[in-house]
Structure 1
Amino acid sequence: MLPSGLMSFPLTPFTPTDELNPSVFADHIEDQLAHGPAALFVACGTGEYSSLSAPEYAEVVRHAVRVVAGRAPVYAGAGGGLGNARAAVAAASDAGADGILLLPPYLVGGTEDGYLAYVESVARAARLPVLVYRRGLARIGVSTALRLLSVPQVAGIKEGDGDLDSMARMVTAVRTSGHPRAGTFAFLNGLPTAEVSATACRAIGIRDYSSAVLCFAPDIARAFHTALTTGDTATTGRLLADFYLPLTALRDQVPGYAVSLVKAGARLRSIDVGHVRAPLVDAAPDHVDQLKDLLARGRRALAEATGGGAGSPVTEGADAELAPGQDAPAVAVAS
């Protein structure tokens, strides 16, 4: 069963010469662990799975498992062509991963029956629980979700399509199916900048989500999650208006910014994760400046929403770049 809570999707750092950077990756993992994620998902979308060679992928997963050392579950991405997906699953298992996030197949689409066969083939190669990512070419409707209940290795579904009507019907169908796994089958909100859809997803029974913001503004991400789970709508509303919605507008200006802006934000946090790999492009300097301004606005909004107000430590430090592991001073979130 997938642990419940806020999920971390760490970045994959590269050196200026385009090599993996294990020391920065270790620092980044430690920084994420300091903020209590329920699980870490490495070499996935934010971790640029599609750009990694097979040896690089194995190194990323091995290094993550070694650094985490059992403090949280480590899931690894796998996907693309069937042969590549099965090979990645085997490598992740050998590296000691706790589970797999099955990313969509590459280029070639098919029917729901065809995608189910893809999942079953990958799952048979896995000795680990598999979370299936519903996005793009990964076609999963209500009937397919019900059939996935009978694939023992499949632990749940990560939603990335944004069709909440379909997901509501899917969650209800699974939970009322009478299947022995109906109550433990996991649903995870994996939409880009998932905080924007978190309230809507909770209303249809999807409580947990992945947070890219956790990679570069963990103080904001953790405060939002706490406010969401305690029903503090004043704080969630303020953070959505002042930070998350403008962030999504900036993200949507350039394809691939769902990763590029996250790396830019990590660099603002003094974590030298390096560039993104082609075909992604690094965030433009003016967009990085806008991101820095948004982070300051987000921290001011957090301070004011939680009673810090002008002149509080959070507000005063809003324009400062934070070192790895260093959040703005903690503030109590109203329940």
Structure 2
Amino acid sequence: MSIMAGFGAGTEHVVLRLRDGMASGVLSFPLTSFTDDGDLDPEAYRAYLARQLATGPGAVFPACGTGEFSGLDEDEYRSVVADTVLIADGRLPVVAGVGYGWAQALRFARIAEEAGADALLVLPHYLVDAPEAGLVEQLRRIAAGTRLPLIAYQRGPVAFTPEGLRAIAQIPTVVGLKDGHSDLDRLQRLTLAAPDDFLFFNGAATAEIQARAYATVGVPAYSSAVHAFAPEIADACFGALRAGDDATVNRLLRDFYVPFVALRDRVPGYAVSLVKAAARLRGLPVGPVRAPLTDPGPADLAELEHILDTGLALVGAVRRPV
């Protein structure tokens, strides 16, 4: 069984590029740059993104969770996606985030399509719990309103059964699933229920921690929030995982990733706030987070600085950019 049979040439090309990208590098989820007053800073974002993409990620996902999608208005979203398409310049797939209910998700989808995005990541809907039939219908409605391929994101209130996975895989242009639940028993059942060429990737927070476990159920590809501030560390871990270099993976996990996750879990929202703070520590022009997120205080910032310096030292890099 193949998902390619019902695709047009454009969608098939995007899927093949995504598959190649997932095998060649981490998936980049860039931060969105704001000024100290909280306004969008497009010039800073372009400068920041150019540095990130120069390191060669497999694909770029602007305006998603790490990019504070829920804090952007439609004009800001258009700017972020258009600038990402501009900086990517066709070198790698651009997958923009969309979300909320299907009607609002379609507004963002059409903006992303006009801006030149290659595909869309459908973020979990807001607030309400919903039966699986509703989750499937949500994707059907979005797919009916845009030509762009869709990747579903299961996390929080969104979780598919094998039956639900089969249903969404039959929707034209739904091409993959990002998993943030880390339930490997469920995920194995989903991969077995899916078409052979359906795309899966590990979207757990700080996915490197669980990358080896995900690979055992056939899902080696993953997104990396660490790439947003330390692509040297993210790429070193990715390379070691692909090479089967357990000693290097264990050293990075033990001395950098585990302490980082322990700090991340201390405060709600730190999955984004710490990433942005670490980017600022490296002199990257990303600015603060927007409310309701909060930036870390002095004690947590000092601990983050130590963790970051340790991780960079492990891969022979330095904190301050040239």
Same fold (TM over 0.5): yes
| Cα distance in 1 for residues equivalent to 2:319 and 2:255 | 19
Residue equivalent to 1:311:
none
State the shift of 1:172 in Å: 1.9
CA distance in 1, matches of 2:262, 2:279: 19
Among residues 103, 107, 114, which one is paired with 1:83 in the alignment? 103
What do residues 179-234 of structure 1 show as CA deviations (whole Å, max 9, x unaligned)?
xxx22110010000000000000010001100010011111110000000010000
Deviation of 1:10 after TM superposition, in Å, equals 0.3
Structure 2 residue 187 is the aligned partner of structure 1 residue 167: yes
Question: Does the alignment pair 1:36 with 2:49?
Answer: no
Note if contact 2:45-2:285 (Cα within 8 Å) is conserved in structure 1. Answer: no
Distance 1:143 1:57 in 2: 34
Superposed displacement of residue 116, structure 1: 0.4
Task: Extract unaligned runs of 5+ from structure 1.
Answer: 175-181, 303-313, 327-335
Question: Is 1:58 matched up with 2:56?
Answer: no
Partner residue in 2 for 1:177: none
Whole-Å Cα distance in 2 between the matches of residues 57 and 195 of structure 1? Answer: 28
Displacement of 1:139 in angstroms is 2.9
Among candidates 208, 225, 236, match of residue 223 of structure 1: 236
- Given candidates 148, 153, 165, the residue that maps to 1:145 is 165
Return the alpha-carbon distance in structure 2 between the equivalents of residues 296 and 266 of structure 1. 12
One-letter code aligned to 2:295: D
Distance 1:301 1:58 in 2: 38
1-side partners of 2:164 and 2:236: how far apart? Answer: 36
The offset of 1:146, in angstroms, is: 1.2
What is the distance in 2 between the residues matched to 1:60 and 1:165? 37
Distance 1:290 1:37 in 2: 28
Higher share in helix? 2
Check if 1:123 corresponds to 2:143. yes
Counterpart residue type for residue 143 of structure 1: E
Percent identical among aligned pairs is 45
**What's the TM-score once normalised by structure 2's chain length?**
0.91
TM-fit CA distance, 1:107: 1.3
Cα distance in 2, alignment partners of residues 39 and 291 from structure 1: 27
The structure with the largest alpha-carbon Rg is 1
Paired AA for residue 33 in structure 2:
P
| Unmatched segments (≥5 aa) in structure 2 | 1-14
Provide the residue aligned with 1:93 in structure 2. 113
Contact 1:73–1:98 under 8 Å retained in 2: yes
CA offsets, 1:152-200, max 9 Å, x none? 21110000112111001111222xxxxxxx2211001000000000000
Match 1:22 to one of 25, 42, 45: 42
Calculate the TM-score normalised by the size of structure 1. Answer: 0.88
- Residue of 189, 210, 219 corresponding to 2:202: 189
Alignment partner, residue 321 of structure 1: 319
Equivalent position of 1:233 in the other structure = 246
Among residues 51, 56, 66, which one is paired with 1:46 in the alignment? 66
Please state how far the C-alpha of 1:299 moved relative to its aligned partner.
Answer: 3.0
Deviations 1:67-105 (A, max 9, x none): 211111111000112211011111100110000000011
Deviation at 1:272, TM superposition (A): 2.1
Q: Is the 8 A contact 2:48 2:285 kept in 1?
A: no
